[in-house]
Chains A and B, each alone.
Chain A
Amino acid sequence: MFNELLQSSVLIGILYSGIRLAAPYLFAALGETVAQRAGVLDLGVDGIMLMGSFAAFYVVFETGNLWLGVAVAVAVGALMGLLMAVISVTYQAEQGISGIGLYLFGLGLSSLLFRVMIGSVKGVSGFPILRIPVLSDIPVIGEIFFNHNILVYLAYLMVPVIWLLFDKTTLGLKIRAVGHNPEAADSLGVSVNRVRYFAVIFGAAMAGLAGATLSIAQLNVWQENITNGLGFIAVALVYFGGWRPLGVLLGSLLFATVNALQLWVQVKGINIPSDLAVMLPYVLTIFVLIFASGRVRQPAALTKPFERSG
């Protein structure tokens, strides 16, 4: 029964799906990693993604210009991030509550805009598959890795970019310091709040990009609550990945690949109850979280607003 799954076409299919499915998680989780490393827990990711995905979809629906859609999604994400930063950094509102508020705001506003501006579920033609010349001709490897739309490549490119940001730049050093000991950073003339503004807005722009990936590259439709909680999984993946880009990459890939695997298990008619199959990725995530929780260090100042004290 299980050797059905071991055919090469199925294995390629699982890996290919896993890589594609992971892309929106990667954007959102890498962005959230930046915000959290600076000490801000942004639980509004899902709402930001909804706004970004709607903005991108609307622009493409009206103009057909895909890159303009991406740009607008990033800008809308950044605006949502600015809102989060004003509330949680400047006004120091409790981060968990403000994040949930932002999520509800994004969920409600995107649905409202959809009804007013579009009205019913429509489709657009999104980013096409971009076969990378030469590389995509490599058997198996080419099919799995170099046969995706451009936003998928971009998502994976962000992994080394964020790693470089953290480990090799002065800004990254500031982000890490501000998230772990803002008093120390402040005493050295680092503007804690400015760094946090940057991190939150950057993270939210990435969430906007994650939304665009859904609406104009992978699904090419828009529907109310299209993310269906994907942004919250992305937040969990940040913990899963131990606040490191590589960890987030592994987490996203694992989650997405197991999801792809369970779909194949069902499609191939392997006799597992569908309820169990769909639980698989979540169960696995919890399992890894339990085992990982001991070894990772979360940013010490996460969720703590900064204020100079006597």
Chain B
Amino acid sequence: MRRLTPLFVLLLIAALALAACGGAKTAAPAEAPAAEAPAAEAPAAPAEPFKVAFVLPSPVTDLAWGQSMYDGLKAVQAEMGEANLEIAYSDSMFQVADAAAAIRDYASEGYDLIIAHGTQYGNSLFDVAKDFPETSFAWGTAVDTGADKGLKNVFAYEAAAQEGGYINGVLAAMMSQSGVLGVVGPVEAGDAKLYIDGFKAGASATKPDIKVNVSYTGSFGDTALAAEAANTHIAAGADILTGSAQQVVGAIGAAKDKGAKWFGTQSDQSSLAPESVVATQVFDWTATIKDMIALHNAGTYGGKAYTLTLANGGLKIVYNAGVAVPAEAKAAADAAMKGIEDGSIKPLP
């Protein structure tokens, strides 16, 4: 018998190593050229760089939830200088147990701030946070900083995704020829549900007789089913689509092939289909990240909950220059934005 030979063992190791590449700790590649900030310009710069670790369930290239935080981190890094901010991440941590191990590893290795980018990581995060009181932890979508558990080193963050959803809904309703909109949702919960409810509210407020068809795929990553859902919406008469989570790249592909328009959320998706994507609600986490770093350096390790809104600039509607938006649609969207900012419009019914 020649079972379990060296070759087989080698392959298993290679497989695990590669699988880990989809996830395990990866130092973020340098993009901005270093040495942009000489020491003289930043006299207060600490000798040690600030170390951030980022754990997320999807890839950092998901064009959605994961990428929004990653882009934010890269922006902050570009601003602070690569020598002063070190970023490490573990992505595609779909298994909560793996993520928990990664969070603990980062904490033991002395990272200053550890971002657990998924609601499902909450319990694990609280467990680890107890053991590392001088390390800052952050998680979202969440508002609970663990204060009732006696924790002082946890930040929570969320995005008021319904606000941009409302704006997208207004735009979509104004631009639709058929009067039917389609929504490709992942799982009926959390950030996705907020966004979709806002979208429906915005569309109905603009055109009371508009039809908004909603479907969920039951998964964040089922790209093929998301594409088929988009096709189904189009077959059912929709000419404008939207959706959320990393699976939407499938839906965007389908919209592009069928000539339908797309509204995005979380990360700017116009690069994927420049002729289809009208606008995207972008989650901009830079201010949140910078505030957490500043608080940490000042000795406050947690206890604050952040919400991205249109008013505080954490949410931005980014138009794609490649798709023309009619002036009256743009005007309606601007009006709605003002209304949300001053509180006269409630994006959730």
Contact = CB atoms under 8 A, between A and B. Distances in A.
A225 B228 contact: no
Interface string B52-90: 000000010111000000000000000000000000000
Nearest to A273: B188
B152 interface: no
A139 B188 CA distance: 38
Interface stretch (A94-102, A241-249, A283-291): A94-102
B17 A91 contact: no
A167 B255 CA distance: 43
Interface string B1-22: 1111101100110111111111
Contacts of B19: 104-105, 107-108
B302 interface: no
B11 to A, nearest CB: 6
Contact of B272 (A87, A93, A221): A221
A123 B228 contact: no
A173 interface: no
B61 A92 contact: no
B198 interface: no
B305 interface: no
Given A93-B8, A123-B272, A228 B222 contact: yes
Interface string B191-203: 0000000000000
A194 interface: no
Interface in B215-243: 215-219, 221-225, 227-229, 231-233, 235-236
User: Interface extent on B, as a size class?
Assistant: 35 or more
B250 A112 contact: no
B271 interface: yes
A33 interface: no
Interface residues of A, number: 62
Given A225-B221, A228-B219, A108 B11 contact: no
B216 A21 contact: no
A105 B18 contact: yes
Given A105-B14, A112-B22, A224-B92, A263 B1 contact: no
A303 interface: no
Interface string A15-42: 0110011001000000000000000000
B218 A102 contact: no
A260 interface: yes
Contacts of B61: 114-115, 119-121, 223-224
B8 A266 contact: no
B213 A108 contact: no
A274 interface: yes
B318 interface: no
B272 A274 contact: no
A278 interface: yes
Contacts of A277: 216, 218
Interface of B: 1-5, 7-8, 11-12, 14-22, 59, 61-63, 92, 182, 185, 187-188, 213-219, 221-225, 227-229, 231-233, 235-236, 246-247, 249-250, 252-254, 256-257, 271-273
A-B interface, 5 closest residue pairs, ranked by CB to CB distance from nearest: A108-B18, A278-B218, A266-B215, A105-B15, A274-B216
29 contacts: A17-B231, A21-B224, A87-B8, A91-B3, A92-B1, A93-B4, A101-B8, A101-B12, A108-B16, A111-B22, A111-B59, A112-B18, A121-B62, A121-B272, A123-B252, A123-B253, A123-B273, A220-B256, A224-B59, A225-B59, A225-B221, A228-B219, A228-B221, A230-B224, A264-B236, A266-B214, A266-B216, A275-B218, A277-B218
Interface of A: 9-10, 13, 16-17, 20-21, 24, 83, 86-87, 91-94, 97-98, 101-105, 107-109, 111-112, 114-115, 119-123, 126, 214, 218-221, 223-228, 230, 259-260, 263-264, 266-269, 273-275, 277-279, 307
